[in-house]
Structure 1
């Protein structure tokens, strides 16, 4: 490993701040920093949700919702990379991309990127176009996606997207979806040169595993490591699962340093 820490940009999920994501990912963060000497930079999403009515789901009864929303705001987690708008809207995506480009200009370069859930989808999009949106910045050596996904819409307008999420065979899923119009370049991985580590849970009810498995298919299998756990929508922290991730990343970055 290099004596100079490699910098990894870390993107939290929906309704998370950089601080909260750092806490939630401590089981992975600590070995990445202590064992691999990586410099993890956790940042907060720039898009602010001003009212609970902007959420794509209910927080419970009126009283419960008010209390939960107050807690979200007080912890500065009323943030996201884009707002969910139907049927397939991603309001704020362009704003977030510009924010990331400017942030990297001021604080980079970064050798890698890591994202969780909505942050993983954002990380994938940026990973795939980094050299186009930020000329002079090389491709990330490493991209780590946890519960990530591609922006998709059904090929057949009569298909319900939520029904498609129930599909188990990723090849069948691929045939039934397409990238949302206008976002094709962000999920074209032909220019992404680094190694991809794609992590997901088979019990994930928030981002069904078929969506994360579909994300894997856009990358060259020779530059892809897939790690599947039997849990849900979270960053794995158990040593028996994290240790293989650390070994993969160590091998990837050691190889890069010897080129």
Structure 2
């Protein structure tokens, strides 16, 4: 009987693109370990380029062409839209319900895998699956790639992006941020939490600076936790040399908690 994973793409990705970007781990899990990986599309559509948190081009026509390309590829998608003032995550509840409904209809799942924005959502779902879907047992393993928690500066005068990019020490970072009010519960694993957490992040990730991933790591103090750091940027590592110990840990997590 194959083990099943639900896989959550990052910002501006579809399930198809995430499957391609994670081909290394996908092929090992499916071919060597007979796992089934279900890649789902983020449900929130980004309607226009103005909703993006960055500029596609200084030239208006070129920017429109690039955004049309994103639409054609079906990657104008996200799990939420972050707004800074005040700090909020638009469409988050809708996206969370979408994931839970998908798991309910297609599960149960042994594990969950997420990248970037999808990694944050994967952590949230893994932490709270018993509350969100009481009929579903805890995942055996959650693979969080370039993940992060929802934080805001403790000092309202501090700039969130500067904290993310200028602070490299995780203790200093933790002293300067709070979990965003209303979302704290999503990043607090229960005391009886038995899901194995595998965190993967890049030492040269500038999209999600690794201090954010290390801060998320600190929130799993009581969990079974394994961390793997690669020397790349904002990506899913695909080299076998890096992935082999990761997949061995995934397999160990699956085998140590057999279904009854």
* TM-score normalised by length of structure 2: 0.95
Residue-pair matches, total = 256
Please give the alpha-carbon distance, in whole angstroms, between the structure 2 residues aligned to 1:221 and 1:208.
24
Tell me how far 1:256 sits from its aligned partner.
Answer: 1.5
The answer to whether 1:93 aligns with 2:92 is yes
Hey, what does 2:175 align to over in structure 1?
175
Tell me how far 1:148 sits from its aligned partner.
Answer: 0.4
For structure 1, the residue ranges without an aligned partner over 5 or more in a row are none
Tell me how far 1:250 sits from its aligned partner.
Answer: 1.4
Alignment of 1:129-140 (within 5 A): 129-140=128-139
Please give the alpha-carbon distance, in whole angstroms, between the structure 2 residues aligned to 1:91 and 1:222.
29
The answer to whether 1:145 aligns with 2:144 is yes
Deviations 1:26-59 (A, max 9, x none): 0111001112211100000111111111111100
Deviations 1:67-107 (A, max 9, x none): 21111000111111001222322101000011111111111
Hey, what does 1:187 align to over in structure 2?
187
- Cα RMSD over matched residues? 1.3
Alignment of 1:34-183 (within 5 A): 34-60=31-57, 61-87=59-85, 88-165=87-164, 166-183=166-183
Please give the alpha-carbon distance, in whole angstroms, between the structure 2 residues aligned to 1:246 and 1:215.
21
Alignment of 1:17-32 (within 5 A): 17-32=14-29
Tell me how far 1:63 sits from its aligned partner.
Answer: 2.6
The answer to whether 1:216 aligns with 2:217 is yes
Deviations 1:170-227 (A, max 9, x none): 1111111111011011011125320000000010010000000111111136500000
Summarize the Cα distance change of 1:51–1:222 in structure 2 as closer, same or farther, 3 Å threshold.
closer
Please give the alpha-carbon distance, in whole angstroms, between the structure 1 residues aligned to 2:99 and 2:31.
26
Please give the alpha-carbon distance, in whole angstroms, between the structure 2 residues aligned to 1:141 and 1:210.
26
SS at match of 1:244: helix
Deviations 1:135-187 (A, max 9, x none): 11111110000000000001111211122112111111111111101101101
Please give the alpha-carbon distance, in whole angstroms, between the structure 1 residues aligned to 2:194 and 2:178.
23
Hey, what does 2:257 align to over in structure 1?
256
Summarize the Cα distance change of 1:243–1:93 in structure 2 as closer, same or farther, 3 Å threshold.
same
Please give the alpha-carbon distance, in whole angstroms, between the structure 2 residues aligned to 1:222 and 1:240.
26
Hey, what does 1:202 align to over in structure 2?
203
Please give the alpha-carbon distance, in whole angstroms, between the structure 1 residues aligned to 2:35 and 2:112.
11
Hey, what does 2:236 align to over in structure 1?
235
Please give the alpha-carbon distance, in whole angstroms, between the structure 1 residues aligned to 2:37 and 2:70.
24
Please give the alpha-carbon distance, in whole angstroms, between the structure 2 residues aligned to 1:246 and 1:119.
19
Please give the alpha-carbon distance, in whole angstroms, between the structure 1 residues aligned to 2:162 and 2:7.
31
SS at match of 2:236: coil
Please give the alpha-carbon distance, in whole angstroms, between the structure 2 residues aligned to 1:230 and 1:209.
11
